């Protein structure tokens, strides 16, 4: 059985690039890929955060890890990162587009600067990652791209206006590319996390009343933990998901199936 499962889900020797990999969720994904036997490129705007994840993995014994500073709103940063990964590891098999910011500003108080900053970091960053790495993968004839959707992708969540618009766009982009590249050997899927709050989320979004509303709408009646995304993430990256593209996979404790 172990041999069968290892063959089915095997990621040994694969090369993964993860954007936003210095953050709460994507750092855990980077750890999961390294522990699954992958070479990992930890990409983040905040190079010090990327280096911290790299150093942590190096200390665990995983040496095939590089840290790169990438501003996902700049196409040239993706081009430079792809070149560095190819130079260091020879190829790229998997891309996780996980970078992005949020904001709790009330709708009538939203400025164009904040609107564009969130859309650029989330939607434009995902578009550029798919464009640069996707071109490489399509030319190579294989690859897996995992975009990070959200419970706010639809119906939208309150207090996250621009973020919700961006996540809806990411889901639509994922479906578009799943269709476009269906015969190209490149799969494009979205992971839809539920509520796995950071300290920032708890401070800026989750009041006691909002926490009660969230958990009351979650059949498992609890928040998730970042490691609980790893099963779906590794599955989507592996050949076990070879007939899965254009899909959105919810890991949300049942939030998306709840009504009353």
Cβ contact 129:170 at 8 Å = no
pLDDT tens by residue, 179-233: 999 999 999 999 999 999 888 788 877 889 999 999 999 999 999 999 999 999 9
Cut 0.85: pTM above it: yes
Domain residue limits, the chain: 2-245
End-to-end alpha-carbon separation of the chain, Å? 41
pLDDT tens by residue, 145-187: 999 999 999 999 888 999 999 999 999 999 999 999 999 999 9
- Tell which residue, 11, 5, 70, 7, has the closest CA to residue 233: 11
Residue with tokens 């010090």: 48
Across 125-135, b (16+ Cβ under 10 Å) vs e yields bbbbbbebbbe
Superfamily of structural domain 2-245: NAD(P)-binding Rossmann-like Domain (3.40.50.720)
pLDDT given for residue 1 in this prediction: 54
Give the whole-angstrom CA distance, residue 32 versus residue 233: 9
Catalytic residues: 163
| DSSP one-letter string for the chain | -HHHHHHHH--TT-EEEEETTTSTTHHHHHHHHHHTT-EEEEEESSHHHHHHHHHHHHHTT---EEEEE--TT-HHHHHHHHHHHHHHHS---EEEE---------GGG--HHHHHHHHIIIIIHHHHHHHHHHHHHHHHT-EEEEEE--GGGSSPPTT-HHHHHHHHHHHHHHHHHHHHTTTTTEEEEEEEE-----HHHHHHT--HHHHHHHHHT-TT-S---GGGGHHHHHHHHSGGGTT--S-EEEESTTGGG---
pLDDT given for residue 201 in this prediction: 81
Report the percent of the chain where pLDDT is more than 70.
100
């Amino acid at each position: 059985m172990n041999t069968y499962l290892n063959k089915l889900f095997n990621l040994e020797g694969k090369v993964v690039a993860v954007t936003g990999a210095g953050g709460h969720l994507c750092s855990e994904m980077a750890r999961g890929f390294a522990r699954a036997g992958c070479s990992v490129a930890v990409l983040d705007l905040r190079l010090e955060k990327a280096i911290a994840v790299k150093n942590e993995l190096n200390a665990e014994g995983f040496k095939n890890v590089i840290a790169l500073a990438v501003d996902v709103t700049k196409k040239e940063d993706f081009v430079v990162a792809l070149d560095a990964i190819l130079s260091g590891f020879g190829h790229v098999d998997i891309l996780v587009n996980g970078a992005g910011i949020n904001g709790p500003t009330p709708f009538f108080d939203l400025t164009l600067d904040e609107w564009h900053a969130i859309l650029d970091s989330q939607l434009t960053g995902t578009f550029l990652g798919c464009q640069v790495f996707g071109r490489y993968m399509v030319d190579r004839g294989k690859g897996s791209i995992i975009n990070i959707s959200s419970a706010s992708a639809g119906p939208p969540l309150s207090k996250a206006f621009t973020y919700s618009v961006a996540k809806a766009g990411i889901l639509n982009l994922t479906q578009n590319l799943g269709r476009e590249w269906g015969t190209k050997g490149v799969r494009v899927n979205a992971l839809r996390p539920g509520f796995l709050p950071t300290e920032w989320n708890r401070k800026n979004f989750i009041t006691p009343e909002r926490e009660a509303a969230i958990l009351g709408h979650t059949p498992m009646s609890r928040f998730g933990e970042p490691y609980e995304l790893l099963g779906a993430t590794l599955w989507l990256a592996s050949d076990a998901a070879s007939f899965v593209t254009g899909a959105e996979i919810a890991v949300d404790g049942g939030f998306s199936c709840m009504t009353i």
